């Protein structure tokens, strides 16, 4: 609440002095110059804000890539290796079982 009061006081004290310090435009060309100046400042402000946002997002993306490369990817790689080894063990057992069945079948037919 105190911050809000301070902001209103600053705006209330500074804004009137800025308004009274300005010279009123005399014709349409002066209005156009003022409008164009305001528009240019607005566009420059947008451009500056965009540039700052890009800097922030580049830092955030770098941070996320660092986390991915340092923690998440090694963990997922470890999990994948465990799953792959488990899968290979199962395939090996199945193939051994099939090979045993084939050997038994051959032994029975040719004895």
pLDDT tens digits, one per residue of 4-53: 777 766 766 656 655 555 666 667 777 777 778 888 888 999 999 999 99
From CA 21, how far away is CA 110, in angstroms rounded?
A: 113
At 80-109, the pLDDT tens digits run 999 999 999 999 999 999 999 888 888 887
pTM above 0.85, yes or no: no
pLDDT at 25: 61
Confirm if 42 and 50 have CB atoms less than 8 A apart: no
Would you list the DSSP string of the chain? -HHHHHHHHHHHHHHHHHHHHSPPP-SHHHHHHHHHHHHHHHHHHHHHHHHHHHHHHHHHHHHHHHHIIIIIHHHHHHHHHHHHHHHHHHHHHHHHHHHHHHHHHHHHH--
């Amino acid at each position: 609440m105190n911050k809000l009061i301070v902001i209103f006081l600053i705006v209330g004290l500074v804004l009137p002095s800025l308004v009274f310090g300005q010279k009123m435009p005399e014709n349409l060309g002066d209005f156009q110059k003022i409008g164009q100046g305001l528009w240019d400042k607005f566009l420059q402000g947008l451009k500056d804000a965009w540039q700052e946002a890009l800097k922030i997002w580049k830092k955030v993306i770098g941070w996320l890539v660092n986390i991915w490369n340092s923690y998440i990817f090694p963990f997922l790689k470890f999990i994948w290796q465990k799953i792959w080894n488990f899968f290979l063990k199962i395939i090996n057992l199945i193939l051994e079982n099939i090979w045993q069945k084939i050997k038994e079948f051959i032994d029975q037919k040719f004895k």
